[in-house]
């Protein structure tokens, strides 16, 4: 005994290719102020304005550089055969999902603050070294250089380091974000 067919619906695969983005901290009322993509490395970032009406501490925000938005970051991966569908006029219309991306909060402002602090410390140490080292203590040093041939034993960057290097060298492409789900 099998279940009877109640209704047959024609299926049309004719929609535009889509990018499916999962945003765990974003709800349907959230706005996105900016979307950036590094196409070659597949890195995606979205800036979401911070809701300052609840659970917001102005003193901590100023301590961290006065950020008034949260950045979500992720990497695009293949859609693996996913489709998005909608029923219209009795037909099921499917659009292929070409890429998916799971966004997570990015704390790049902390990394930037740390880098600025290290740069300031480096400059101060250089100034102190210059003051301590007098002209009579400066000596000429003989530097001997040798060239090594490249061979199979040369150090290479691993997969993650290559990806990070590619990401760092690539420029952002800014896109306009349009919400399609009501």
Which tens digits make up the pLDDT trace of 36-73? 999 988 999 998 888 777 777 888 777 777 677 888 99
Q: Is residue 94 part of a domain?
A: yes
Q: What is the pLDDT at residue 11?
A: 92
Is the pLDDT reported for residue 25 higher than 80?
A: no
Reduced DSSP (H G I as helix, E B as strand, rest coil) percent helix, strand, coil of the chain, to 5 = 25, 30, 45
Q: Is residue 4 part of a domain?
A: no
Is the pLDDT reported for residue 153 higher than 70?
A: no
Q: What total number of domains does the chain contain?
A: 1
Distance, CA of 155 to CA of 152 (rounded, Å): 8
Q: Is the pTM of this model over 0.85?
A: no
Q: What is the pLDDT at residue 181?
A: 55
What mean pLDDT do residues 138-144 have? Answer: 65
Q: Write down the residue that tokens 């990015």 correspond to.
A: 106
Q: Write down the residue that tokens 């590619």 correspond to.
A: 166
Q: Is residue 134 part of a domain?
A: no
Q: Is residue 157 part of a domain?
A: no
Distance, CA of 71 to CA of 85 (rounded, Å): 29
Of residues 99, 96, 102, 103, the one with CA closest to residue 78: 99
What mean pLDDT do residues 14-37 have? Answer: 81
* Higher pLDDT, residue 73 or 180: 73
pLDDT averaged over every residue in the chain:
81
Q: Is residue 164 part of a domain?
A: no
Distance, CA of 182 to CA of 179 (rounded, Å): 8
Range of the domain at 45: 17-51+61-107+170-182
Q: Is residue 88 part of a domain?
A: yes
Which pLDDT band holds residue 74 (cuts at 50, 70, 90)?
A: very high
Q: Is residue 87 part of a domain?
A: yes
Q: Is residue 12 part of a domain?
A: no
């Amino acid at each position: 005994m099998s279940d009877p067919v109640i209704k047959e619906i024609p299926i049309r695969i004719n929609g535009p290719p889509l990018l499916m983005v999962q945003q765990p901290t974003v709800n349907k009322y959230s706005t996105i102020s900016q979307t950036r993509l590094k196409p070659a490395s597949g890195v995606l970032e979205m800036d979401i304005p911070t809701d300052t009406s609840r659970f917001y501490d102005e003193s901590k925000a100023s301590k961290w550089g006065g950020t008034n938005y949260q950045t979500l970051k992720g990497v695009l991966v293949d859609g693996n055969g996913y489709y998005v569908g909608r029923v219209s006029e009795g037909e099921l219309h499917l659009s292929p999902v070409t890429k998916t991306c799971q966004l997570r909060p990015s704390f790049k402002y902390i990394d930037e603050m740390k880098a600025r602090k290290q740069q300031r410390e480096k400059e101060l140490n250089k100034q102190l070294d210059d003051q301590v080292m007098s002209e009579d203590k400066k000596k000429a040093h003989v530097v001997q250089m040798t060239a090594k041939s490249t061979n199979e034993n040369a150090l290479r960057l691993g997969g993650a380091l290559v990806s990070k290097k590619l990401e760092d060298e690539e420029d952002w492409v800014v896109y306009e974000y349009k919400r399609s789900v009501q």
